[in-house]
Structures are given as C-alpha cells and as structure tokens.
Structure 1
Amino acid sequence: MTTTYFHGGTVWTGAGADEGALLVRDGRVEAVGAAAEAAASGADAVVDLDGGFLMPSFGDGHAHPMFGGLEAEGPNVRACGSVAEIVAEVRRYAQEHPELEWITGASYDGSLAAAGLFDARWLDEAVADRPVMLRAWDYHTVWVNSKALELAGIDAATPEPELGEIPRREDGTPLGTLREWGAVDLVTAVMPPREIETGVRALERAGRYFLERGVTWVQDAWVEPADLEVYLAAAASDALPVRFNLAFYADPRRFADELPGMLAARGRVEASGSPLLTAHTVKFFADGVVENETGALLEPYCSGLHSHGMSVWGAERLAEAVRSADAAGFQVHVHAIGDAAVRQALDAIERAIEANGPRDRRPVIAHAQLVDDADLARFAQLGVIANMQPLWAQLDALMTVLTVPRLGQERADRQYRMRSLASTGAVLAFGSDWPVSSGDPRDGLAIAASRRTVDGEPAGGWTPHEIVPMEAALSAYTAAVAHQALADSVDAPWGRIVPGASADLAWLARDPREVDPHELPRVAVRETYLAGVPCLAGPAASDARPVTPETPAAPDTPARDERSVALRP
C-alpha cells in the first residue's frame, strides 16, 4: 500500500471544515486533520503544501472536450484577427499537408465578417481544389469553400433544411456559411470519417488542458456515435486522462429511432469496465441563444425580429422525448437559455416524473440564462440541477452590445440568477462550455464571486444580489458537480475530502477565499491529483514545488467569448 501525507497549508474538505493535514492511502482519503497527523509517520511520501490550499478537484458540468481537443488538429484559426489572416493560415496549413483530403479546423471568430456571414470564395483563395470546412466559435456555424459546397450538393436549388439555415447571395446561390445542425450535416455527411487515433489524441489533449486547471471530471455534453468509438478506444488503451461522462445527443429529427442505440452504447461503456468513463446522460436542446434571437422567450424580443425565439422540439415533443429517455434510466441534460425554454424543460421533467415514478434521476438544465419568477422554486421541487456558466454573468461587450438590447434592461437584469436559484434549495453546479469559453474554473469563479468584468466593472458588481460567495462558488464547482455526476453512488466518491473518498485533489498556491476574486485566475494550480496520483509533476515528493507559474500564460480559449453572435452548445 502507498500512503501520501499532505501538510503545511489549508486542506479545504468541502464538507464544512478546514483542516491542516491529509493522509491518502492507495488513492483514497484515509484521514484528515489530527487523525492524519497521528498516522503521518508511516507515509511513503510527504507533500509540503508550502502555505497553499488543497481542495477537492474541480468538475466541469458542461463542456465539449472533443471539440476543444480537435482544434489543434487543423489550421490555427482561433488566433486569427481578420478574414485575411484566416485565409493565410488555411493556405499555409494546406500547403504543409498535401496528403489531406479535407482541410478542417476550428474555431474562427464569427464577428470578423458582417452579420457572421463568410463567403466561400474567400476560402477558395486559400484552397480551391480540396474541400475546406471551418467551425466558428459557436460550434453551430461552419464556413466552407466552394469545393465543399459542391461535394455536399448544396446549390441554388437546395431547399432550406429542417433545423438549419443556408444563407444565400442575391441570386440564390449558397454564400458559404451554414448554420445549425440541419445545414452543417449536409457537409459532414460527405466528409470521410475521422480516424479514431485523431480523436484519442484530441481527448488526451483536452484532458491535459483540464488537468492543468485542476479539473478531473468532465461532462461531455454532446456525444455522437463516432465520438463513442473514440472514447471506448481511449479507455481500452488507458489513454483517458480524466473522468468523463458521456451525454448522447438527442436529435429531434430521429430520436425515437436512435434511443435503442443509446441504450446499447451505454451498455458498451459499462462493459468496458473503465473507472474513468460513464454514459449516464442524454442531451437535449430546447432552444438556441439570445444573441441571435433563437433563445425561446416568454415575452417577445425588443426588436421583434424573431418574436419569441426558437423552440427546437416544441413542448409536446420535448416532453415525450424526455419521458422516453428518463424511462430508459438516463439522466436528462437540457440546454435551455430563454425563460420559455426553461419552462418547457421543467414541464418535460415534471411529466417524466409523473409518468415514470420516483427514482434518483438528477435531471440537469444547463445555462438557464433567464428563469421566470414562477419557475425559480420548481428546480428544487423537481430535484433539477441548475448547471450554469458563471463566466457569462458579466457586463462585457457581448452582454452590452448584443444581449441587453434584445432583452431590454429590466429583463436583462434578471439573467443568471445563480444565488436566487441556490436560495430556493436547488443544486447549483458550474460548468464552462469549453471551448466556446474558457474551461478554467478560476475564470468562472472570479465572475461568480464578483459579477465584475476583468476591468473591474461595475465597481459593486452587476446585479450584486446574485453574487455567489467564494466558498459557495467553490462548492458549485466541486461537490455540486459531483452530485450531478452521481459520484456519491460509486464505491470511492469524489467531490469532498472525507475518509473513503477518492483522492481527486487540486493544490492551489493560495486560498481563493482570501484573494480578490479577480486575482484568482493568476493563482497557480500547483498540482492535480486523480485518485491520489499526481498528474502534472510526476510522483509526489517531500520537496514538491509549483508546476505552473504564479501568473499563467494566456489561455488558449478566451476568458469570455467575444463573438458578435454566440450560439452556445
């Protein structure tokens, strides 16, 4: 048996107490506080926390690790600040990779062209003889060249697809921008399948990204059949860097036919025996987003452009699909941005409970940007977890330029009601939506505990009554995500530092409760432990030192998505 003794700092257990020591034996918490000190003499390794802060590792309750990890597999368009830079980068990459049948990449800034509309002919200047497809930061929009349109059979005669949009020139020919699944699928259907080895590399890359930020569990909130094969291959080769739970994407066009396949997929994951992989969940989209007026609202948008927004399923179809997934024993995870979508999601969950009877289902509503007063208490009443993205609760340019004008000031000031929801007794869990926005919990915690931008505006915080105290915010990124993950139902639970728990830990250089919230992104993550194993610097040692600088390098995703149109998956 191997034991590690931690001392010399604060051990935040997440269970209502601070301690000064921790003993880990064979990957599990053996003792904390005085009991750990008493047993320290027999430890195989000793870690001096150097005045730092040891806590349960973070979980990310809503992210897209495959998308994020794949961004390094193509041209580096995320760093580009103009259309010309993107074209030049695609040209460079294509010239360096003449063997590739398709040039694919992600994720470009959709605000670099008026109204987010990008012309295929611009990409033709970079590559004309091979198809090119680039994903935007929103991950619901792609930009393709003319060759890709040709291979997909998209021309002036192509009808508008269900759940999609093909922007066109005045003569009816497709421009080169495709929006939403129905349109994007026309291109992806003619692309060669991604090699499993490429996907495994992407997962390893994504896992490293999260581990460097103290995260050891991630909810992949959009998994399709090809992604499942990658996860299973990674599990079989011991290549999963962190714990993943898979949420199978529920396509409203074919869900009834796909549900049996989801059941079979869950069985395959369980049969893999991997302690790092589960598949509890089905993901639904109830609406779009406010920024392009597809978020479903109870009252019309101020502009009236799309009136009340978009309902992806409609109330009855969503309720039936949720009931079916729930009856199959899946956890339901619903993207709902607008207050009408949140109500539809709550109604669907309530009907599933009535139809299928009581069980430990832990349904999730993700984002919950707007929640009507009449629906606040329903989260707790129905046992619904509110998984929210705290980084978005700030008055940045995205909010002031796009969101507030569409909602109006009174309605805009009722966004991201994190503290209000928590005060009703609902479980508030945090996620990032990476790579749409930063996957670093420190960035999200800074906003949750201040409601201020990186420039410190406004001085007292935007809607300060919704500020989440730092300790509660830490719990939302740890114990609450563990609750969402059903982690307390496993042999070695995680999310708190208590005897018997898995030693999933994050060691920070400073106590986040004792720094200004906006200093937190500059507080180093010195080490991340998964089941007691150090993931960043190798085996624990008595002279352990920081493995990340006190001031980290700029993240490879923006601390806040700065697009003019933000369609969050």
Structure 2
Amino acid sequence: MGVTVFIGGTVVVEASRDGRTTTSDAVAFSSGRVVALGREASALAESAEAEVVDLDGGTLIPGLGEGHAHPVLGGLEAAGPRVREASDLAGIIAAVAEWKRDNPEAEWIVGASYDATFAPGGRFDARWLDEVTGDTPTVLRAWDYHTAWANSAALAAGGITAATPDPELGRIVRREDGSPLGTLQEAAANDFLAGVAPPFALDARVAAIESATREYAAQGTTWVQDAWVDPADLETYRVAAATGRLHTRVNLALRADPAGWRDQVAEFTAVRDEIRGLGRERLSAETVKFFVDGVIENHTAALTAPYADRPDDRGLPNWTPEELSAAAISFAAAGFQLHLHAIGDAANRLALDALEAVRAQDAPDEVRRGRSGAADRAHVIAHVAMLAPGDAERFARLGAIANFEPYWAQCDAVMRELTIPHIGHDREGWQYLIASVLDGGATVSFGSDWPVTTKDWRPAFSTAVLRRSHLDSDAPAWLPHERITAGAALAAYTTGIARQALAPDRGALAVGMAADAAWLSADPLRVDPASIPEIEVLGTWLAGERIHPLPPAGLGR
C-alpha cells in the first residue's frame, strides 16, 4: 500500500481531557493507520510512491466525532416545507403555503422543524395552519423533535378529538373547552408521526442519510452516533451501507420501548449480530437508546421539584426507576452500550442510578466485550442538561460518559424565553455543567442533537469555550465558571468520542492509530475562540481514505 505524508503545518497528535495537547510537524498514513510522526514521517515524503499533502500552514487534527444526532431526520428536513428557515410564525405559514403550491398533488404535508419560541409557551394552533393547508392533513415537528404541530385535517385523520385521552407517555395540548389545540407532545407526537402520517419512501430516506454523511465528512466528522433508531430505520441503513452511500461511520442506537423492552433484548441482539455480519466497516449497531424523559421547553423533562411556572408538575418520566434499572441491566448483560437521554435533574439522577445498578452486577469481561474487543463498554448519558448538586461527581465514579451538546450552553432566546422561566432562576445554574463533570474526572464527549441545532462542530466548540454565542461579542459568558479550554473541547470531540465509539484505536494520530483526520485552515487551539466558526475544513480522511472532497469517480471501496 502507498503512504500519505502530511507536512507544512501543525499536526495535533492528541488532546486530553485536562486540556493538554501533543503536536508534531508531520504525520504519515499507510494501510489505514498512522505509521510515522515527525522526522520519520518527513523522511517518507521523499519516496517516489508517497502522496504528499502540504498543509500550507494549516492544522491536521484527529477525525472529529458526533456523539448524538439524528442524521436521517436531519436529512429529511429538505424534503418538506422549509420551516427551519422561518424567522417568525408568519414565515412558517408562508413556507407551508409555498410548499403546498409547489406540490398540489401531495396527500399530506410533513415537515420539520419549526422554532417553538414563535408562539407563547410553544402552543401552536391547528387553525393557523388551516388557513393555508385547507383539508390537506399537515404535521410539522418542532426543533426539539419532542413536539409536533398538526392542522385540523391531520387531527381528524388521527381521530384526535376532545374525547381522546392523552397517551400514557404524552400530552395532547388542549384549549379551555378540552378540544385539541393542535400541539402534540412526546408520545402523542411520536405515535402520530409513526402511525398516522405517511412515512417517507425508502429512496428518500437513503438519500437523506447519504446527504447527511456527506455533509458530516465535509466538516471533518468521521463517526456519528444515530441516537434514535426504530425498526423502520434499519432498512435505510442496510441499503445505504450496501450501496456505498455512507460517507462516515455510523453507529445505531436502537430505541428501547418502556412497554416492550423485555422482548427487545433478543430482537436487538439479532439486529446487532446481523449488522456485524454485513462486514461494513462504516455501520454498527452496538448501542441501545433510552428516553428517560422529555424536554424542559414543553414541561416533559423530569425534575426533582416542580416547574417554577407549574407548581403541580414535575415533568413526564418515561420509565419507573425499577424498570429503567432492570432494562439497563438486561441490555448491558447482552453486551450493549447504553445511551440514556436525560434532560431534567430527576432524569439524570435516574440515569445515574440505573448505571450504578449495572455496575453493581459486575458483569464478566467476556459479556462486556463487544466488536472492538475492549472490556471498556462505557455507557453514555446524553444531554445532561440539569444536574442537582452532588450528581456531577457521580459520572467519574461510575465510569460513565457525559455527552453534552455544547451549543446549548449559552443564554439564547430558548434559554431566556422558555427554559429559565420553566425551571426558575434558582436552578438556572444547574445547567450544562461541563467543567464540573470534567473536574470530577469523568469522560466528556460532544454532540449536536442535529437537527435540533446545527451539526456544525465549530460554533459549538466556540460556545463550550466562551459560554456565549460567537456572534455576540458583547454578551457576558453564561455561567462562566463552566467554561472549558479549547484543548478540553477538542478532546471531547476526539478522545472522548473514541471512548464512546468503543474504538480505542481512534481519537488520536499516534503511531498505530486509525488514520482518521481533518485538515483545518487554522488551529482551533490557538485562534480567538470567537473565530473558530470561520475555520475552513480543507480535507477529511477516514482510515486513510480521503472522504472530503471526494475524488471525481466517487467513493471507492
């Protein structure tokens, strides 16, 4: 095999969680691995067979990871009305009207995702959509993907009336007379979208994941955690993998059903074994996803004390403590990594308690060992939006990974208009305690939750360091004691992700490691953090193969 040598810039060999970094001035790849650094790598550039990449003063970093996203959902947003681009309620309505005009034969309008701050309390009325959709059933997801907005025709198609009870784990928002307003939350929204609204065709779903992974490759991301996979999604990934349309690695997190998880243990084991048997290096299914609760913005996140603006409401937990622990123990014993969505402080405590129960089982190494062969099958709590005092320190004790979405660690419109009013200023300081979890000795990984917010790691990286938007230089840092260094932020996207990905051979560019890398126009560890979003990604390599920009003939195998 040939050798690719990178010279003429800075090579970040590794970033550690304490912010320290190791660098070199050259690195060489061969057969998908790092084979040399420094002078030894530079010497290999003299070979006639070597491909030499001049970094031109830029920086080569380990390939970045995406610790929590929904790439199929994100890719499908382009198939419906362009409501994401709307700047107000009128803009959403106009986008839906335009789509209907352009697609007059469509039997349904299905789209995503709208900004829930555009209506008081996030309560959207079916009649607002009726004005432009008429009798065409229409349903839109909110950007939190825990809420949906349906018009009257869609409500009728789903049989939702004043007499319809709320589902066990969801809410139908109602008018004062008890009639459905048009806003559906949690299971009410998810069940409607799964069982009433028509699904997107397979070719559209495959195109969505291809588009999403191309975009990830273009930003230097080489591994993605799809954090919500239902049975209907599996064929999408099988086809994408078989036809060469995955442009990054993707690990699937199969969603555990609180009502049927016992049957899923064997079902998911069969799925995992089937995916392993495909032999597609870019696709795996090593993880099980638990929705422990909902989100603060629609009052479904589980809190230990009532919401500030709803004194009788502590949220909507999806699991009892006993069932969550039992399910966690069973899936972990089957060799799965656990990935627990937890937003509210009560949900995070439940998740930590479940992982403590798993740890107490002391499963033997041969059960823990998975595809990577590593005994460290680290479990993940995702979002970690609120932590009550004392819980930040538990992550390290349990060996758990805290997967934060750092772009959320700012006082933006959502925080000001929905989150803080719901939880109260006395608990504002319990949010996104990234530095506290790191200081406790735990592993932190970063993600985006795209399409909830941007998948671009650059503004999120900047936010983790600044605790404010890079676009607002006059804004004070929000909870400034929770800022982290640029080195720690890079570690969360590289070495932290490698541990989450069950891939001890990734996340660094040391000799012997996988040759995953991103070529940047500037060093994110040295520039002004506010300018990190301006850094260009000039190239991306996955196991030594350049995946961005693609060669003219497309991606080879």
Assess same fold via TM > 0.5.
yes
Contact 1:326 1:356 (8 Å CA) reproduced? no
1:152-551 correspondence runs (5 A): 152-355=158-361, 357-358=363-364, 359=368, 360-454=376-470, 455-459=472-476, 461-488=477-504, 493-538=505-550
Partner of residue 8, structure 1: 8
TM-score by length of 1: 0.89
Q: 2 CA distance for matches of 1:118 and 1:397?
A: 18
| Counterpart code for 1:284 | F
| Counterpart code for 2:73 | F
Partner of residue 40, structure 1: 45
Q: 1 CA distance for matches of 2:394 and 2:124?
A: 42
Secondary structure, aligned partner of 1:335? strand
Q: Are residues 1:26 and 2:34 paired?
A: no
Residues 137-162 of structure 1: per-residue CA shift (max 9 Å, x gap): 11111112222222211122211111
Q: 2 CA distance for matches of 1:237 and 1:311?
A: 40
Secondary structure, aligned partner of 1:291? helix
Q: 2 CA distance for matches of 1:170 and 1:401?
A: 23
Partner of residue 89, structure 1: 95
Deviation at 1:102, TM superposition (A): 2.1
Partner of residue 18, structure 2: none
Q: 2 CA distance for matches of 1:479 and 1:429?
A: 8
| Counterpart code for 1:6 | F
Unaligned stretches of 5+ in structure 1?
541-569
CA 1:115–1:302 in structure 2 vs 1: closer, same or farther (change >3 Å)? closer
Contact 2:329 2:358 (8 Å CA) reproduced? yes
| Counterpart code for 1:392 | W
Residues 303-360 of structure 1: per-residue CA shift (max 9 Å, x gap): 3434433322121121111112112211111111222211111111111222352543
Secondary structure, aligned partner of 2:289? strand
Secondary structure, aligned partner of 2:296? coil
Q: 2 CA distance for matches of 1:122 and 1:291?
A: 21
Q: 1 CA distance for matches of 2:421 and 2:119?
A: 21
Contact 2:185 2:298 (8 Å CA) reproduced? no
Partner of residue 130, structure 2: 124
Q: 2 CA distance for matches of 1:75 and 1:201?
A: 17
| Counterpart code for 1:27 | G
Q: 1 CA distance for matches of 2:116 and 2:423?
A: 22
Same amino acid, percent of matched pairs: 50
Deviation at 1:469, TM superposition (A): 0.8
Residues 416-446 of structure 1: per-residue CA shift (max 9 Å, x gap): 2212211222111111111111111111110
TM-score by length of 2: 0.91
Contact 1:533 1:539 (8 Å CA) reproduced? no
Deviation at 1:99, TM superposition (A): 4.1
Deviation at 1:187, TM superposition (A): 4.7
Q: 2 CA distance for matches of 1:440 and 1:505?
A: 16
Runs of 4 or more off by more than 4 Å in structure 1? none
CA 1:371–1:118 in structure 2 vs 1: closer, same or farther (change >3 Å)? closer
Q: 1 CA distance for matches of 2:423 and 2:147?
A: 23
Unaligned stretches of 5+ in structure 2?
16-20, 369-375, 553-557
Secondary structure, aligned partner of 1:443? helix
| Counterpart code for 2:403 | N
CA 1:457–1:429 in structure 2 vs 1: closer, same or farther (change >3 Å)? farther
Contact 1:21 1:36 (8 Å CA) reproduced? yes
Secondary structure, aligned partner of 2:9? strand
Contact 2:218 2:549 (8 Å CA) reproduced? no
Query: What's the RMSD between the two structures over aligned residues?
Result: 2.0
Contact 2:172 2:188 (8 Å CA) reproduced? no
CA 1:395–1:129 in structure 2 vs 1: closer, same or farther (change >3 Å)? closer
CA 1:415–1:119 in structure 2 vs 1: closer, same or farther (change >3 Å)? closer
Contact 2:166 2:172 (8 Å CA) reproduced? yes
Residue of structure 2 aligned with 1:146, choices 134, 145, 152: 152
Residues 185-230 of structure 1: per-residue CA shift (max 9 Å, x gap): 1353133343211111000111122122211111111111111110
